[in-house]
Structure 1
Amino acid sequence: MSTESLSVHPTYGNWRRPRRPGLGPLGLVGTVAVFGGLIFDLLVSLASLPAALVLVALQAVFLLPLAARTMDGRNVYQLLALRISWFRRKGNGSTTYVSGPLGRRSGGKYRPPGLLSRVTVMEGRDPYDQPFGVLHHPKRNLYTVVLGCEPDGGSLVDPDQVDTWVATWGQWLARLSSEPGLRGASVIIETAPDTGSRLANEVLPRITQDAPPAARAVMEEVVQRYPSASSEMHTYIALTYAIPGGQKRTDEDIVDDLATRIPGLLDGLVGAGGGPAAPLSAERIAEVVRVAYDPEVASDVLDARVQLGGTGLEWEDAGPSATVETPKAYQHDSGVSRTWMLTQAPRGTVRANVLRGLLEPAPGTRRKRVALLYRPIDPATSARIVESDRRAAQFMATSKRGLVQARAANEVQATEQTAAEEATGAGLVEFSLMATVTVDSDAELDDANTTVRNLLAGARLHMRPADRMQAAAFSCTLPTGILPWEYTLVPRELKEAL
């Protein structure tokens, strides 16, 4: 008698791009313009038919750029606005940044550039008496807390445990929608080749002078060769909060309020496989930003932290000495970076390790950061969105035939599942992904581009380079709480209508 043991591997999916209101690719603005134009043309045709035909031609010229869209949903007007913005910034010199004694700012400090130029840092103590830093974004009146953790690896872990971690992580994300004032969260996974400083500081001081020469030679060789085959990985979670308008609160009150939330957030991360988790101090945040802009100082920072217990680095000196932004890259101190943005999530269902290759260290790169951006949606809005998608999917399924009808029926099934999960307490979250790769010179960017394309193929992701906005995209992948949707010139509601 033989028995078969079937191993069930859970799959995940059921994410969809938010449905754009309006007719086809026109969007809400284009649809309103079409119907409004038709009514106006009918009225004009009563007086003059040639004038009405001229108006129809002009309206077609205006509406065609709205209908032509790229894979990620951008129309011609948005592409044109991006190019105009680039030429304006290049014309006024904002694509070049110089700090320190030669910079334009007084004080001779090395402040971070771009979106981080006005950020200030405060520090408080959580209920466990651990120091934690708070980044204040005065332009948007946002406050960011950064948590650091060491996730448990997925190797030699039972599928049931992985499934439990994923479920707990989903519960943690669903909880964010109920966090008062939370505007968004980002998870940053940073990888880099091991500098060897930590191993050397641990091993070399323990080698005694009277040790056998053979044993001494072996330990010294291990310290010398081991870093070439190893890497370091850091995980940061940045939570950004907004203070409701009309409430006059001091900085001390805000820091105390954020301190009371940290223990609950840390408990959820530990249950989701995050491993040991703790908030980052103001000094530690400054060190992370400093190393991102100047990868050469990574070993110096580690040495100072091990030998002296800290670097004493302040936020005012965490930035680069000079940066130059080009249409396809971002040059900063000892590195050159390129950032990619998500255009399409994996289609269908995936397994829990779908992003493993993308998150692992990439050979030939100085540093790599992958940022998962989340925008939690409150329960009331989630229910409204779910019901709207459900009705739209049912309408499309009843109005189409053939292969399209089969896809529409699959869409109905997905919306029904989403509605059922939302009704039982699941949260609705908008997410995106960005990846930044840093190399030593411009000549290595092409190889890095090939490496990223290979990694994206394994992860079943579609991403595009953040051309003409590399500096801003670089800031979004840092654990500093920069949320892209909070810094757009066009309001998010109007952008969705386009």
Structure 2
Amino acid sequence: MTAAPEPIRTPTYGNWRRPRKAGLGSLGLVGTVGLFGGLVLVLIASMASLNAAVVLGIPIALALAPLAIRTQDGRNVYRTVGVRVGWLRRRSKRQHLYVSGPLSMRPGGRFRPPGLLSQVTMLEGRDSYDRPFGVLYHRNRHQYTVVLSCEPDGGSLVDPDQVDTWVALWGEWLSRLAHEPGLRGASVIVETAPDPGTRLATEVLGRLSPDAPPAARAVMEEVVYEYPDASSEMNTYLTLTYSAPGGGRRDDDTVLTDLALRLQGVLNGLVAAGGGLAEPLSAERVAEVVRVAYDPAVAAEVLDVRARHGHTGLEWDDAGPAAAVETVRSYQHDSGVSRTWLLTMAPRGTVRAGILRSLLDPAAGIRRKRVALIYRPIDPATSARIVEADRRSAQFMANSTKGLVRARAIAEIEAAEQTAAEEASGAGLVEFSMVVTLTVDSSAEVRDADVTMRNLLGASRVAMRPADRMQAAAFTCALPVGILPWEQTMIPHELQEAL
């Protein structure tokens, strides 16, 4: 008698959670402190007269009410109004417009990248294998960014056990980021675009034998001209942003030497996690990536020049657009118009390894698409404090509720206990977010990009919202240049968490 074959079990993942914030309800820590402080003041004023208590209590209530009203993604009224006020302020100062080049009023007459990249300069060092690698120096933050290029192994025809191993090793690589000295954040950017066919034509046509049969030549030429219509290029980049030791007092050569010694360890971890061939990008290659992002029409020309001469000679100071205009819903730059979305909620429930496949695959009608996963490593001491506080909060909610709500609270306890157990066994905590940018040819196609994005999000079960009134900054965060969003805010990250 033949035994029935065992069903194939696909590994599932998940259990990411938002740590519960201290405070009453949606007020947050600052709002709760303000509430109790206001109640004390009102009680003291009521001892004098009831009118004094009312006069004092109404402004306090009006000041605290916006902290309690929140959108679906957790933003309070103050943050929403702050975005609108910031946009109106930039428009009044005409900061939403950018013009560069010899005919502009910018010093030097070059095409420097705008916005958050205006204070970034390029350095270049050599690693232990004598390969050049570019380093972006953020002068206003005293931070250095290294850009790596990867060729990940595809997931097609791969056993589930191998995929599970890759996911585990990728999680281990992320947990090691918390122990990397001076590391402020990391990001993974997957960029897809229609293949212009330049690389294939350069490889094939240059090797055709003049004595080849006409039929064979016709077949090869047809492949060269027809293949790009159904193909696409996919590039994967990884950035690591370090803070300068000693608050930026060290010289550039010392920092470049320090980064060169760290690169090989980082690359080895990527290869084990399925990252495939990984290598640092030179300063010229980084400038090319940014140049093509701002002007997608030159992608074929850049590939052609590099294939013919081995280099393009492009410098960082010429990687920006000639003109750019930021609007409420989009960001227009040279030959492209981009619209960017921000993550509001990760997929809930059961998650498999291919949950983001539809979001990462090329999309029809989109000139270029970038999906950026941004990671903020948390040090071990803070991780232990976060999981313990989350565990106590889950237990308190379960003990203070009944019925169906209590069942959900019990599920929260199980998830919190699992997180605490994994952290105690050596796993690390990492805050993550995602930024997605779709670039089309004209403003008339932005509406089609919205439809495409809704379809992609429906398949991936990810909740995102458009980065309206901050499209230029969000566009920059999706580039492989090491811009960390939490480092660019006027309000410190810790205070924002308390709000």
- Residues in 1 aligned to 2:180 and 2:213: alpha-carbon distance in whole angstroms: 60
Q: Counterpart amino acid of 2:250?
A: R
- Compare 47-56 and 157-166 and name the one that shifted more: 47-56
Match of 1:295 in 2: 296
Q: Does 1:165 align with 2:166?
A: yes
Deviation at 1:220, TM superposition (A): 1.3
Q: Counterpart amino acid of 1:262?
A: L
Match of 1:33 in 2: 34
Task: Look up the SS of the partner of 1:145 in the other structure.
Answer: strand
- Residues in 2 aligned to 1:245 and 1:125: alpha-carbon distance in whole angstroms: 23
Match of 2:194 in 1: 193
- Compare 172-181 and 46-55 and name the one that shifted more: 46-55
Match of 1:140 in 2: 141
Task: Look up the SS of the partner of 2:408 in the other structure.
Answer: helix
Match of 2:131 in 1: 130
Residue by residue over 1:322-348, the C-alpha shift from the partner in whole angstroms, topping out at 9 and shown as x without a partner, is 000001000000000000000000112
Q: Counterpart amino acid of 1:267?
A: N
Q: Does 1:241 align with 2:245?
A: no
Q: Counterpart amino acid of 1:487?
A: Q
Q: Does 1:309 align with 2:310?
A: yes
Match of 1:469 in 2: 470
Residue by residue over 1:191-210, the C-alpha shift from the partner in whole angstroms, topping out at 9 and shown as x without a partner, is 00000001100111222333
Residue by residue over 1:351-402, the C-alpha shift from the partner in whole angstroms, topping out at 9 and shown as x without a partner, is 0000011001111000000000000000111011111111111111111111
Match of 1:280 in 2: 281
- Residues in 1 aligned to 2:442 and 2:197: alpha-carbon distance in whole angstroms: 22
Q: Does 1:262 align with 2:266?
A: no
Q: Does 1:109 align with 2:110?
A: yes
- Compare 149-158 and 217-226 and name the one that shifted more: 217-226
Match of 2:15 in 1: 14
* TM-score, length basis structure 2: 0.98
Match of 1:487 in 2: 488
- Compare 346-355 and 154-163 and name the one that shifted more: 346-355
- Residues in 1 aligned to 2:247 and 2:193: alpha-carbon distance in whole angstroms: 44
Residue by residue over 1:139-186, the C-alpha shift from the partner in whole angstroms, topping out at 9 and shown as x without a partner, is 010000011010000000000000000000000000000000000000
After the TM superposition, which residues 52-451 of structure 1 pair with which residues of structure 2 at under 5 Å, given as runs?
52-245=53-246, 248-451=249-452
Deviation at 1:350, TM superposition (A): 0.1
- Residues in 1 aligned to 2:454 and 2:56: alpha-carbon distance in whole angstroms: 46
- Residues in 1 aligned to 2:199 and 2:449: alpha-carbon distance in whole angstroms: 27
Q: Counterpart amino acid of 1:266?
A: L
- Residues in 2 aligned to 1:256 and 1:74: alpha-carbon distance in whole angstroms: 42
Deviation at 1:246, TM superposition (A): 5.3
- Residues in 1 aligned to 2:222 and 2:173: alpha-carbon distance in whole angstroms: 44
Match of 1:43 in 2: 44
Q: Counterpart amino acid of 1:287?
A: E
Task: Look up the SS of the partner of 1:445 in the other structure.
Answer: helix
Deviation at 1:247, TM superposition (A): 6.9
- Residues in 1 aligned to 2:247 and 2:85: alpha-carbon distance in whole angstroms: 37
Task: Look up the SS of the partner of 2:206 in the other structure.
Answer: helix
Verify the 8 A CA contact 2:96 2:327 in the aligned structure 1: yes
Deviation at 1:53, TM superposition (A): 1.9
Q: Counterpart amino acid of 1:327?
A: V
Residue by residue over 1:98-148, the C-alpha shift from the partner in whole angstroms, topping out at 9 and shown as x without a partner, is 000122222111000000011011101100111101100010100000110
- Compare 452-461 and 153-162 and name the one that shifted more: 452-461
Task: Look up the SS of the partner of 2:130 in the other structure.
Answer: coil
Q: Counterpart amino acid of 1:38?
A: L
- Residues in 2 aligned to 1:376 and 1:26: alpha-carbon distance in whole angstroms: 26
Task: Look up the SS of the partner of 1:101 in the other structure.
Answer: coil
- Compare 246-255 and 466-475 and name the one that shifted more: 246-255
- Residues in 1 aligned to 2:443 and 2:264: alpha-carbon distance in whole angstroms: 44
Task: Look up the SS of the partner of 1:400 in the other structure.
Answer: coil
- Residues in 2 aligned to 1:10 and 1:73: alpha-carbon distance in whole angstroms: 31
Q: Counterpart amino acid of 1:78?
A: R
- Residues in 2 aligned to 1:205 and 1:187: alpha-carbon distance in whole angstroms: 35
Match of 1:24 in 2: 25
- Residues in 1 aligned to 2:17 and 2:349: alpha-carbon distance in whole angstroms: 10
- Residues in 1 aligned to 2:246 and 2:268: alpha-carbon distance in whole angstroms: 30
Task: Look up the SS of the partner of 1:129 in the other structure.
Answer: coil
Task: Look up the SS of the partner of 1:81 in the other structure.
Answer: helix
Task: Look up the SS of the partner of 2:446 in the other structure.
Answer: helix
- Residues in 2 aligned to 1:339 and 1:243: alpha-carbon distance in whole angstroms: 30
Q: How many residues align?
A: 498
Going from structure 1 to structure 2, the CA distance change for 1:246 and 1:459 (only over 3 Å counts) comes to closer
Task: Look up the SS of the partner of 1:208 in the other structure.
Answer: coil
Q: Counterpart amino acid of 1:342?
A: L
Verify the 8 A CA contact 2:142 2:247 in the aligned structure 1: no
Residue by residue over 1:392-420, the C-alpha shift from the partner in whole angstroms, topping out at 9 and shown as x without a partner, is 11111111111111111011101111111
Task: Look up the SS of the partner of 1:296 in the other structure.
Answer: helix
Q: Counterpart amino acid of 1:24?
A: G
Task: Look up the SS of the partner of 2:13 in the other structure.
Answer: coil
Verify the 8 A CA contact 2:294 2:334 in the aligned structure 1: yes
Q: Counterpart amino acid of 2:229?
A: S
Task: Look up the SS of the partner of 2:9 in the other structure.
Answer: coil
Verify the 8 A CA contact 2:398 2:406 in the aligned structure 1: yes
- Residues in 2 aligned to 1:145 and 1:256: alpha-carbon distance in whole angstroms: 12
- Residues in 2 aligned to 1:111 and 1:58: alpha-carbon distance in whole angstroms: 47
Aligned-residue sequence identity (percent) comes to 68
- Residues in 1 aligned to 2:33 and 2:204: alpha-carbon distance in whole angstroms: 70
Residue by residue over 1:181-240, the C-alpha shift from the partner in whole angstroms, topping out at 9 and shown as x without a partner, is 000000000000000001100111222333322222221111111001000000000000
Task: Look up the SS of the partner of 1:348 in the other structure.
Answer: coil
- Compare 397-406 and 155-164 and name the one that shifted more: 397-406
- Residues in 1 aligned to 2:443 and 2:389: alpha-carbon distance in whole angstroms: 47
